[in-house]
Structure 1
Amino acid sequence: MNGDEVLVLDTQGQNALSVVRSLGKKGLSVTAGGNTRFLPGMLSKYADDAYVYPDPAADEGAFVDDLERHLLANDYAAVFCVTDMATAILSKHKERLEATGTRVGVEDWDTYILPNDKGRLFALADGLDVPTPETHAPESIDDVEEFEADRDHTVVIKPRRTTVLDEDGEGHTNRISGSNYVSPNEDLVGRYRELVDGNPALREQLPLVQEYIDGEEAVCTVGLADGGGLTAVFQHEKYRVFPPSGGVGSVRKGICEPKMADYADQVVDALDWVGPVHVEFMRTPDDEFYLLEVNGRYWGSTALTVNSGVDIPWLHYQQLVGDDPTVERPDGYRTDVKQRKLFYQDFLWLKENFDQGNYRALAPFLASFATTREETLDPEDPMAALGIIPRTVDMLLGLRDGETVY
């Protein structure tokens, strides 16, 4: 397979950098794409070329037109992406893009939309032997008022879709914040109205009202699916998070939870999913696992997955270019590897602790230099870090708002 060419989009992300490194190490010729220059994936020694395209979140049509022209002008075997936005757009236009002769590494739209619409996901999971939070799908504010009358527990107002593409081709991302959580003594109807009125996308498709599961921390099963469940599996937990109260994992490590793996396999099988998939659960103190969401894309801890012995990007490539979507399942994986997002989640974790007067956080932060693998800064591929350090400095100085870097 040496000499085959592939395109990896979204190379501002650390998981896209992991895909570039994985495929480049296998001898593929990798072009790293993004909506600006000098991104981490573009600066990697495993990237042979760069491709700059219009911002997909700003203009879906311009992005798809430019990508189609680029695919027609090049002889790529496959194109990969990692963000919610790019995954949604490539799935929506998959037939058109694959007419160029390039395999597109996302699911078909009809399958993709199933887990992306959490209302449909939890309706599907209701028929499985998988624990799920009590979930309500209001059709009107009156439905919320009726539910509120008998509520005695904390709930989460959860957007049905994380990523929404409007009629003008502009993308919108619906994230959950503290205001989405409503305790029993708070006004659910008022909060619901406030969130819906402030977001046009939520008015078009009313959010769910879901039971809050009081657990230790979200844990994940990820892997590659072949239409009949997971054919390659890895599981991880967040060892340190930013913000410290709960958020993106700044340090992660592998775990092995057979019960959670079985639950994830049931969900993925019911979705009839093919390709990379990320299934998130809440682990409760009694070691039960409640389904939270499914993301049909590469996950933030892709580097940890690869470094622990499950090279999903390479397996995915084989799946895309092969006649049979079934690939050989790896024999287990390591659970002793800790992977760190020094740039920039762990720096922000330290900064927030300092802002709160918790200077003891410096000790575990410094210790991680000896005990974890950093996702971007790699002695074997040092130039990639130059693409993320400027953004890290901006974040620490407050010159850039918080954003998700996968």
Structure 2
Amino acid sequence: MTHLILVLDAAQRSALAVTRSLGKLDNIQIVTSDSSTFALAAASKYSQEYLQSPCPSAEPESYIQWLENICTIRQFALVIPVTEITSQLLLMHSSRLPHVRLAFADYNTVMSLADKYRLLEQAKACGVPVPEFTLFENAAGADASRWSYPCVIKPCLSKIFTPAGWIATSVKVLQSEQDWQRARTAAPYLEQYPFMLQEFIPGSGAGVFCLYNKGKATHFFAHRRLREKPPQGGVSVLSESVAIDPALKQYAQQLLDHVHWHGVAMVEFRITPDGQPYLMEVNTRFWGSLQLAIDAGVNFPALLVQHELGIAGGPAITEYRQGQRLRWLLGDLDSLYLYLKSAYPLAQKMQRVLAFFAPTAFFKTRHETNRWGDLGPGWYEIKTYVRQLLGRQ
């Protein structure tokens, strides 16, 4: 029996990783979709067909109507969104999408983790350490003169759904009351929607990547970011698989067990200089560096589909390769450009150039989009990159 799977958000690199992973399975056919005329994952040889949709962020009602129609006509065994907007949009309209099968927990469970206030309350209830925090319904109730600085302003939702579309929010570190006034002016949504004042936790970030099947943990993975875009912190452009920190794994499992999780999740922590972890947030979908986990031996998309559709898989994975690296070449090039434009000392800039052109661990590094066995996405990304570059000049 052949299973037809629809992979949404095909412009995302995580969607490409899903498409390549599932396209290699027996009796699986992949259809990709996005709102542009063509997209990254659609360029893969494992995408059998590409469907252009309305934009889920700008036209949510049209998007749901389109998906309702296409899934009534086509018999998809599974629909896989990879962004927060499409994931939540499909779950909140599940009654209108009876033919759409998702590998997720229900909407309330997802939102209990996606809503950062509800997340921290649940984490406290199951013994997971969290920063000190205070909830404000809106900016009118906030008295910044009484706050201790530095602190963090964190909207409860990173994406807010409104009748007019989605509002993207952001987290701000405040050093003074003046910073709060600037943040309030720059983010009008703070006047209407709830946010938290959160204790600032110094240190570095760390994450645990998890797969659950109906409340039971089945697989875990961890990596560290070696380079990011922008260089001061952002999207990973070079990452490496590492051993899972036992304490972080325990805390992630306590939290996800508590909510009886189903599907994938990325649990993010902040680690203080003295080694104390604090929960920051949970991403309830596939993450950006998904391909690294697959390369290291934990094929999350295939495992998820095998669980969901009852397809027999290979032997259970108990260990994965540590030291495996993943490089997003064009993202790394952008990161280098931003680094060279910055105020770093000349010696550090030269070291960064050397690291770009003469990378270490060469034989343990794979490129995220450029793959000899699937050249289409790499060429598509390069052509798109050049067009955008020329358009900016």
- TM-score higher than 0.5: yes
- 1:181 and 2:173 aligned: yes
- 1:119 and 2:117 aligned: yes
Report if aligned partners of 2:9, 2:33 keep a CA contact under 8 Å in 1: yes
Residue 293 of structure 1: aligned partner: 281
In the alignment, the residues of structure 2 paired with residue 60 and residue 67 of structure 1 have an alpha-carbon distance, to the nearest angstrom, of: 11
Of 136, 139, 144, 2:137 maps to 139
Q: Deviations over 1:362-382 (max 9, x none)?
A: 111123383521111111101
In the alignment, the residues of structure 2 paired with residue 394 and residue 362 of structure 1 have an alpha-carbon distance, to the nearest angstrom, of: 24
- 1:55 and 2:48 aligned: no
Report if aligned partners of 1:92, 1:108 keep a CA contact under 8 Å in 2: no
Report if aligned partners of 1:39, 1:388 keep a CA contact under 8 Å in 2: no
Q: Deviations over 1:195-218 (max 9, x none)?
A: 345434333322111111111x21
Report if aligned partners of 1:164, 1:172 keep a CA contact under 8 Å in 2: yes
Residue 373 of structure 1: aligned partner: 366
- 1:352 and 2:338 aligned: yes
In the alignment, the residues of structure 2 paired with residue 95 and residue 181 of structure 1 have an alpha-carbon distance, to the nearest angstrom, of: 39
DSSP 3-state at the match of 2:359: helix
- 1:260 and 2:248 aligned: yes
Residue 307 of structure 2: aligned partner: 319
In the alignment, the residues of structure 1 paired with residue 169 and residue 390 of structure 2 have an alpha-carbon distance, to the nearest angstrom, of: 26
Residue 404 of structure 1: aligned partner: none
DSSP 3-state at the match of 1:137: strand
Query: 1:54-93, aligned counterparts within 5 Å?
Result: 54-93=54-93
Report if aligned partners of 2:267, 2:282 keep a CA contact under 8 Å in 1: yes
Query: 1:185-334, aligned counterparts within 5 Å?
Result: 186-187=176-177, 190-215=178-203, 217-256=204-243, 257-322=245-310, 330-334=317-321
> Offset at 1:271?
2.2
Aligned length: 384
Structure 2 unmatched runs, 5+: none
In the alignment, the residues of structure 1 paired with residue 56 and residue 188 of structure 2 have an alpha-carbon distance, to the nearest angstrom, of: 20
> Offset at 1:396?
5.2
Report if aligned partners of 2:138, 2:195 keep a CA contact under 8 Å in 1: no
Distance 1:196 1:319, change over 3 A: farther
DSSP 3-state at the match of 1:122: helix
DSSP 3-state at the match of 2:125: coil
Q: Which stretch of the first structure deviates more once superposed, 391-400 or 248-257?
A: 391-400
In the alignment, the residues of structure 1 paired with residue 139 and residue 191 of structure 2 have an alpha-carbon distance, to the nearest angstrom, of: 11
Report if aligned partners of 1:196, 1:206 keep a CA contact under 8 Å in 2: no
In the alignment, the residues of structure 2 paired with residue 393 and residue 198 of structure 1 have an alpha-carbon distance, to the nearest angstrom, of: 32
Under a length normalisation based on structure 2, what TM-score does the superposition of the two structures give? 0.91
> Offset at 1:167?
1.4
Of 127, 130, 133, 2:128 maps to 130
Under a length normalisation based on structure 1, what TM-score does the superposition of the two structures give? 0.88
Distance 1:139 1:49, change over 3 A: closer
> Offset at 1:231?
1.7
In the alignment, the residues of structure 1 paired with residue 137 and residue 248 of structure 2 have an alpha-carbon distance, to the nearest angstrom, of: 32
Distance 1:354 1:71, change over 3 A: same
Distance 1:273 1:323, change over 3 A: farther
Q: Which stretch of the first structure deviates more once superposed, 194-203 or 15-24?
A: 194-203
The letter for the 1-side match of 2:350 is Y
Report if aligned partners of 1:42, 1:49 keep a CA contact under 8 Å in 2: yes
Report if aligned partners of 2:4, 2:78 keep a CA contact under 8 Å in 1: yes
Structure showing greater relative contact order (alpha-carbon pairs closer than 8 Å, 6 or more residues apart): 1
Residue 166 of structure 1: aligned partner: 162
- 1:336 and 2:320 aligned: no
Structure 1 unmatched runs, 5+: 401-406
In the alignment, the residues of structure 2 paired with residue 224 and residue 87 of structure 1 have an alpha-carbon distance, to the nearest angstrom, of: 16
Distance 1:193 1:225, change over 3 A: farther
> Offset at 1:80?
0.3
The letter for the 2-side match of 1:347 is L
Report if aligned partners of 2:116, 2:156 keep a CA contact under 8 Å in 1: yes
Structure 1 vs Structure 2 CA RMSD: 2.4
Report if aligned partners of 1:240, 1:251 keep a CA contact under 8 Å in 2: yes
DSSP 3-state at the match of 1:126: helix
